[in-house]
Structure 1
Amino acid sequence: MGKFTVIVLDSYGVGYMDDVIKTRPEDFGANTAKHIFEKTPGLKLPTLEKLGLMNALNMETEDMKKNPDAVFGKSSLMHFNADTFYGHQEIMGTNPKHPIMEPFSKKIDIVYNELIKKGYNVEYIGEKLKILLVNNCVTVGDNLEADGGQAYNVTSTFDKISFEEVIEIGKIVRSQVQVSRVIAFGGKDVTKDDLINSIETKDDTYIGVNAPKSGVYNKDYLVIHLGYGIDPEVQIPTILGKNNIPVTLIGKVADIVENRYGKSIPGVDTEYVMKQTIEEFKKMKDGFICTNVQETDLAGHAENVERYVEKLKVSDKYIKQLIDIMEDDDYLIVMADHGNDPTIGHSHHTRENVPLLIYNKNKKNINIGHRKTMSDVGATVAEYFKIEAPENGTSFLNQII
């Protein structure tokens, strides 16, 4: 065996998918990596260049060239739209199910009745539009930060209820709704009034707690994302864990992928998550590491090319340090989960193909082609460790071994 590491440069796509003309016309023309190079003359990312970024992009600049020795490919997204949560579930081997998008008002009565049936104290809060207040310390309503109707928030104060209990409430909500995500979270030093006073409406259709305003992020924040149609039993972390193979998830992936047998290290700062990756790699004899570099995505949302470049440079530096300590049997894949083109004219994710940049000390000059789903990465990890495959994806290990 050895170590297999996947580093997800969140949102670093390499060109819009053909289906955006029908599904997301606002993303037509998007190419996150290409447009960042065009906006930043002289940009040099030597490690990503060595790994074949320009091969995957099929372009060159004065400072970044294709590498004839690179092992590379790219992948389409199988999941709907362009979503970090579903992107990572797909990478881990999930066959994405298509959720529906609808405001919480469409499901509020069904959720209310189920919570009452389970013994909770539940009341409606609001006038024309309403949210639910559960046990005087947990609210259930629309997520106001995501696209309307995409997610519901279960927001809580941990001064009055444990995170484990909040998760159970989240699971009850999850069982009654078909939106893509139910997000259960909370923090300390937050009161019921803080939650109630932070309720806002959006477009006369959505109502929920403004999470940053409520203060739940400020102290001892914890979160779990409950996705539609997600079965951890058929994902790589669970399959590896049941086979006693170590798994470490670092960065945002630690928040959004279930990893009950392994180690999860949340974090946002790029330097922090990359240093953690190298430290965990050094400590691990054999096993799987997946790291999410979230700050690239945050720069995309801010439509800030300069900040995006800064985070890419930090990532590039530490990926080199990781490569330098890899041994003959170790494999690395650097990829993305979607796009977030900061030049496209909107601040949302862009539906783009993603690069697959693969490194092993002994492999050169291999093009694994254009994959249909990012689950091929999870399937490849499974074959590498000689365990059962996840529910989705086709391994490309035979091309790179």
Structure 2
Amino acid sequence: MKRVFLMILDSFGIGSSIDSYKFNDHGADTFGHIVEKCFLGEANKERAGYLKIPNLRKLGIAQAYKSSTGKYPLGFHEKFNESKIIASYGFASEISSGKDTTSGHWEIAGVPVLDNWYYFKKINNTFPNTLINEIINNFKLPGILGNCHASGTEIITKLGEEHIKTGKPIFYTSSDSVFQVACHENIFGLSKLYKLCQKIRNLLNENKFKVARVIARPFIGNNKLNFQRTGNRLDLSIKPPSITVMEKLINEKQGKVVGIGKISDIYAGVGISKSIKSFGLEELCNTTINEMKLAKNNTIVLTNFVDFDSIWGHRRDVSGYAKGLEFFDNQLFNMINLVKERDLLIITADHGCDPTWLGTDHTRENVPILIYSPSRKTKFLGHRKTFSDIGQTIAKYFSLSEMKYGKYMF
């Protein structure tokens, strides 16, 4: 029986990549800076000390970090007995042009984004007038609010009350290739929000705007003091331009791919046999563990753990990120125990989002690759020049046809 459990810790970077200067991210280090803040007692004033992630350590996270940055994380003992490490470990750099969720996930699946996305400029009236007018006319809107680059939580606080009074949706974007729409879940209506976002997705495609995602951002509350986003987010992506390793498994082996969290949205439903909407780190972990128990031969269970990025990374919440890692590590113990002799458990990330960095955007970083299988000898995987080495390795493992990008790691 062959099964792959692919866990993507959204934004868990392990040190700035060689091309990070192009993104103004040289020096960004999501994992290293979190560890440093914990060790110095700045992330959690109740205690100081190293981040308590014994299972990630057992899989080789400290060694993967050292291979990426040239040093161990602060407080992680340099002389940790490597004989205790049970997984193969290394790190990967991204060749895709962006540092966003879609680019990272597609590249992991063997389809790097080598040309440029369309990005909305950071100016007043960010979105082109012709596009906005077309959206307003097509959907018969009373107008729009926002039309700018913004933090999602801040713009809801600023414009949420006006949105409720006027019925005008809030449009905003970021440094990523995204068109985001925030509306009140009950007053504007969730179904209406989804239909609006689908209309925007269609118009972007028709007008040849290569925008990675249109994101519905529903929120609740009755005033700026209690507005909060809900878990009913919807990402509408364009389809990957070529075949992913998940599609190959389905087509060539009649296999099954279980996408948990926002995975199906990221791949526009392509190459996903079963999609499970799951929200919050605890629920994502529980759902993943349950699907690992149910998985049959020729199955990939693929989970995106979004909270690390959306709740803690973008919000620059170092303490929350640290606690989230410790919670995940505790659940990881149960996941490791479900891995059978020939299975592969792969832990990686799609980009960085250093909570100590300037601004609220993603950071261009290397990502860890930790691969555990009881039947395989552990080895140092080295520096992988593309995330697509993961997709190529999965393809080889399932005896699928070769992917166009990436190299086999074993």
2:251 to 234, 238, 242: 242
Q: Distance in 2 between matches of 1:62 and 1:121?
A: 55
Matched-pair contact (CA < 8 Å) for 2:91–2:384: yes
Matched-pair contact (CA < 8 Å) for 1:112–1:122: no
Matched-pair contact (CA < 8 Å) for 1:95–1:391: no
The alpha-carbon distance between structure 1 residues 316 and 224, as it changes in their structure 2 partners (threshold 3 A), is: same
Q: Distance in 1 between matches of 2:281 and 2:394?
A: 24
**Which residue of structure 2 aligns with residue 285 of structure 1?**
296
Q: Distance in 2 between matches of 1:123 and 1:173?
A: 17
Amino acid of the residue matched to residue 252 of structure 1? Answer: K
**Which residue of structure 1 aligns with residue 65 of structure 2?**
57
Amino acid of the residue matched to residue 308 of structure 2? Answer: T
Amino acid of the residue matched to residue 244 of structure 2? Answer: Q
The alpha-carbon distance between structure 1 residues 55 and 367, as it changes in their structure 2 partners (threshold 3 A), is: same
If the length of structure 1 is used for normalisation, what is the TM-score?
Answer: 0.77
**Which residue of structure 2 aligns with residue 88 of structure 1?**
105
SS in structure 2 at match of 1:143:
strand
Deviation larger for 247-256 or 159-168? 159-168
SS in structure 2 at match of 1:55:
helix
Amino acid of the residue matched to residue 119 of structure 2? Answer: M
**Which residue of structure 2 aligns with residue 392 of structure 1?**
405
Deviation larger for 374-383 or 47-56? 374-383
**Which residue of structure 2 aligns with residue 271 of structure 1?**
282
- How big is the shift at 1:189? 10
- How big is the shift at 1:316? 0.9
- How big is the shift at 1:161? 5.3
The alpha-carbon distance between structure 1 residues 346 and 114, as it changes in their structure 2 partners (threshold 3 A), is: closer
SS in structure 2 at match of 1:268:
coil
Q: Distance in 2 between matches of 1:252 and 1:89?
A: 13
Q: Distance in 2 between matches of 1:276 and 1:128?
A: 36
- Does structure 1 residue 143 correspond to structure 2 residue 172? yes
Q: Distance in 1 between matches of 2:35 and 2:75?
A: 10
Q: Distance in 2 between matches of 1:383 and 1:140?
A: 47
1:231 to 225, 229, 240: 240
Matched-pair contact (CA < 8 Å) for 2:144–2:169: no
SS in structure 2 at match of 1:125:
coil
**Which residue of structure 2 aligns with residue 24 of structure 1?**
23
1:356 to 365, 369, 377: 369
Please, what is the CA RMSD of the aligned residues?
3.6
Unaligned runs of 5+ in 1: 131-137, 199-209
The alpha-carbon distance between structure 1 residues 49 and 126, as it changes in their structure 2 partners (threshold 3 A), is: closer
**Which residue of structure 2 aligns with residue 100 of structure 1?**
118
Matched-pair contact (CA < 8 Å) for 2:141–2:168: no
Matched-pair contact (CA < 8 Å) for 1:299–1:305: yes
- How big is the shift at 1:31? 1.5
Q: Distance in 2 between matches of 1:304 and 1:158?
A: 30
Amino acid of the residue matched to residue 277 of structure 2? Answer: P
- How big is the shift at 1:102? 2.9
Matched-pair contact (CA < 8 Å) for 1:238–1:259: no
Matched-pair contact (CA < 8 Å) for 1:159–1:188: no
User: Where does 1:2-21 land on structure 2 (aligned, <5 Å)?
Assistant: 2-21=2-21
- How big is the shift at 1:80? 2.8
- How big is the shift at 1:342? 1.8
If the length of structure 2 is used for normalisation, what is the TM-score?
Answer: 0.75
SS in structure 2 at match of 1:33:
helix
Q: Distance in 1 between matches of 2:169 and 2:61?
A: 43
Deviation larger for 274-283 or 345-354? 345-354
- How big is the shift at 1:275? 1.2
Amino acid of the residue matched to residue 231 of structure 1? Answer: P
- Does structure 1 residue 257 correspond to structure 2 residue 267? yes
Which digits, 9 at most, give the CA deviation of each residue in 1:366-401, with x for residues without a partner?
Answer: 1122112112212221222222344432332xx1xx
2:89 to 55, 60, 72: 72
1:48 to 56, 68, 85: 56
Deviation larger for 356-365 or 164-173? 164-173
Which digits, 9 at most, give the CA deviation of each residue in 1:342-361, with x for residues without a partner?
Answer: 22343322111001011011
- How big is the shift at 1:292? 1.4
Amino acid of the residue matched to residue 167 of structure 1? Answer: Q
Deviation larger for 242-251 or 320-329? 242-251
Q: Distance in 2 between matches of 1:221 and 1:100?
A: 26
Q: Distance in 1 between matches of 2:363 and 2:81?
A: 25
The alpha-carbon distance between structure 1 residues 233 and 164, as it changes in their structure 2 partners (threshold 3 A), is: farther
The alpha-carbon distance between structure 1 residues 112 and 342, as it changes in their structure 2 partners (threshold 3 A), is: closer
SS in structure 2 at match of 1:352:
coil
Matched-pair contact (CA < 8 Å) for 2:32–2:73: no
Q: Distance in 2 between matches of 1:275 and 1:167?
A: 30
User: Where does 1:293-372 land on structure 2 (aligned, <5 Å)?
Assistant: 293-297=305-309, 298-372=311-385
The alpha-carbon distance between structure 1 residues 390 and 224, as it changes in their structure 2 partners (threshold 3 A), is: farther
The alpha-carbon distance between structure 1 residues 253 and 126, as it changes in their structure 2 partners (threshold 3 A), is: closer
SS in structure 1 at match of 2:58:
helix
What percentage of aligned pairs have identical amino acids? Answer: 27
Amino acid of the residue matched to residue 349 of structure 2? Answer: A
SS in structure 2 at match of 1:394:
coil
- How big is the shift at 1:279? 0.5
The alpha-carbon distance between structure 1 residues 248 and 232, as it changes in their structure 2 partners (threshold 3 A), is: farther
Q: Distance in 2 between matches of 1:60 and 1:184?
A: 35
The alpha-carbon distance between structure 1 residues 188 and 128, as it changes in their structure 2 partners (threshold 3 A), is: closer
Q: Distance in 2 between matches of 1:369 and 1:101?
A: 33
The alpha-carbon distance between structure 1 residues 330 and 99, as it changes in their structure 2 partners (threshold 3 A), is: same
